[in-house]
Structure 1
Amino acid sequence: MRERVAGSLAWLTAPAREPGRSQDVGFLVLRLTLGLMWFYNVAWKRAPDFGEEADNGLYYFTAYGSEHPVLPPWAWLVDNVLLPNITFFGYLVIAAETAAAVLLLTGLWVRLGALVGLGQSVAIALSVMYAPDEWPWAYWLMMAGHTALLLGASGRWGALDAARAEGRLPGRQALVWAGVATVVALPSVVLSLDDPLAARGPGFNDPDPSLSTGNYNLVGALVLLALAALLVLAARAGDPDRTRTLGLAAAGLGALAALSLHAQLGFTDPLLGGTPSSAAAYLCLAVVGLVLARSRRTA
């Protein structure tokens, strides 16, 4: 026990220079944390007016960039470009934050995801950094975290980038994502049995810790389970052609589910229930399926 404690203290105080698994795990934790941040952040972006009529949501927080200016040119941009075109701007924000969430969580094109997240972090900082009750260091930390992912070897472990670099099938990642989808879907299935079209997630959509897994009704949860099954079958198929077919089926179903949500949110009750975060979840599974389909090797 004493030797173990001494070894831990030695590791903590040694020069942090050596590469290895601990560095990979550190980048994994940072990447997933930032990905989950964007995954939750996109949930409250409400089309089509993004809070303009009610003076809340994205419109409300964007207006802070003019009311509490950080940079005069940005304040001018908010007043003259962003707020007058909030619908177009809102959909751009959803696209950027969804891309950051999907790429960072799946570990596909991690550097691109980090760059998108860094740009969005800068935009948010310029809008709200000087607003009441805001903590400027939160935004410096967001920018620093994305910079670390952008410049570091942050796709070496638990990422689709690692499988792509090694020319192997991302079977393990596919099984992990299938497991996550199943865990999220099953409570929604049970809770929605009495009202199949009511969006009732597993209770993880909590604004206090700002965490979410998305919301789903019975139909949406069954789509999650179907995606999970397709990923498992594709990962275990053994035959490259069968893996490609099943992977493409997962990619198509996930993309269609995400697009259907965005087409209906703000206009009607979505067939799948859910929020923009739910759409991001479907896209994560679609991306995993697409990488499976495009993998050249099955081992």
Structure 2
Amino acid sequence: MPTNPFTDVWHFLTATTTDYLHQGNWRYLILVLFWALLLAGTAVAFRNWQEDSAQRTGRHLGVWLVRVLIGCMWFQGMLWKLPLPVSDGLQYWTEQESTNAAFEFHRTFMKDVVLPHMRIFGPIVFLAELVFAGSMMLGLAVRFVGVLALAYTLQLWIGLYGNPSEWPWTYMFLALLMFLFVVEGTGRSLGLDAWLRRKVPAVRDGKGLIGWFFHISG
């Protein structure tokens, strides 16, 4: 059946994509998690819009929309890392990195360290992408998580640089977007980072360990 962007979005929002269907009945729990993140991020944005007149600009709204969509992208990418501990897709693309990475040391690392321990690295990759998705959709600790996502994306850029079916600029574009999220602190645009800075003095002033962390990470 032919697909288009509208049908693809509908299938993703209703857990009827191929990646979702591979999860069996677990897909409904994953779908609930997605909608919880999306609705929570929207509720936070609405609260910021209500409470802070400085947030009521087209720029903040546009940044919020892009950030949430990138979070949705990370969530969708996370799906094919299932089932744990190692999905067939993750196994395949990790093998591709072991032969197509731009540098020999990277190929050796993937071949000798990562591939023999995929039962450890598989869940780590899954959790990393889930954290990226949650952070972007909620606007929480975006600078800190954005740095991690930037490093993660650059690893993919280098790791799949020699794969003829991949366009290196794809990963570079995502890396540049993550870089902008970090530089701009996009969680402060209708995100939880903005709400915490406004409502929690410890975060606003960087006091205490937790306050300091969320102050610099958002």
Could you list the runs of 4 or more consecutive aligned residues of structure 1 that deviate by over 4 angstroms after TM superposition?
A: none
Contact kept, 8 Å, 1:61 with 1:127, in 2: the verdict is no
* Pair 1:132 & 2:168 matched: no
Q: Per chain length, whose mean CA-contact separation is higher, i.e. which structure has more relative contact order (CA < 8 Å, sep 6+)?
A: 2
Tell me: CA distance 1:49–1:109, structure 2 relative to 1, closer, same or farther (3 Å). Answer: closer
Question: What amino acid maps onto 2:156 in structure 1?
Answer: I
Q: Which letter maps to 2:89?
A: G
In structure 2, distance between residues paired with 1:32 and 1:62:
27
Q: Distance in 1 between matches of 2:169 and 2:56?
A: 30
| Counterpart check, 1:120 vs 2:152 | yes
Instruction: Note closer, same or farther for the CA distance 1:49–1:99 as it changes in structure 2 (3 Å cut).
Output: closer
Inter-partner Cα distance in structure 2 for 1:22 and 1:145: 19
| Paired AA for residue 198 in structure 2 | E
Cα distance in 1 between the residues matched to 2:91 and 2:127: 16
Counterpart residue number, 1:253? none
What is the match of residue 155 of structure 1? 187
Q: Deviations over 1:134-162 (max 9, x none)?
A: 11111110100000000113122321111
Q: Structure 2 unaligned segments of length 5 or more: list them.
A: 1-54, 201-218
Partner in structure 1 of residue 59 of structure 2: 23
Find the counterpart in structure 1 of residue 103 from structure 2: 71
Judging by fraction of residues, say which structure has more helix.
2
Query: SS state of the match for residue 181, structure 2?
Result: helix
Query: The residue matched to 1:96 in structure 2 has which SS?
Result: helix
1:109 aligns with 2:145: no
The alignment yields a C-alpha RMSD, in angstroms, of 2.0
The count of residues paired between Structure 1 and Structure 2 equals 146
Bigger radius of gyration: 1
User: What's the TM-score once normalised by structure 2's chain length?
Assistant: 0.62
- TM-score of the aligned structures, taking structure 1 as reference length: 0.46
CA contact (8 A) 1:27 1:154 kept: yes
Match of 2:215 in 1: none
Alignment of 1:203-242 (within 5 A): none
What SS does the aligned partner of 2:165 have? coil
Q: Report the equivalent of 2:81.
A: 45
Q: 1:146, 1:160 → 2: CA distance?
A: 18
Identity of aligned residues (%): 26
Q: Is the partner of 2:187 in helix, strand or coil?
A: coil
Give a deviation string over 1:148-203, Cα, whole Å, max 9, x none: 000113122321111111117xxxxxxxxxxxxxxxxxxxxxxxxxxxxxxxxxxx
5+ unaligned residues in a row in structure 1: which ranges? 1-18, 169-299
Cα deviation digits, residues 4-59 of structure 1 (max 9, x gap): xxxxxxxxxxxxxxx982332332233112211110011011244524xxxx3101
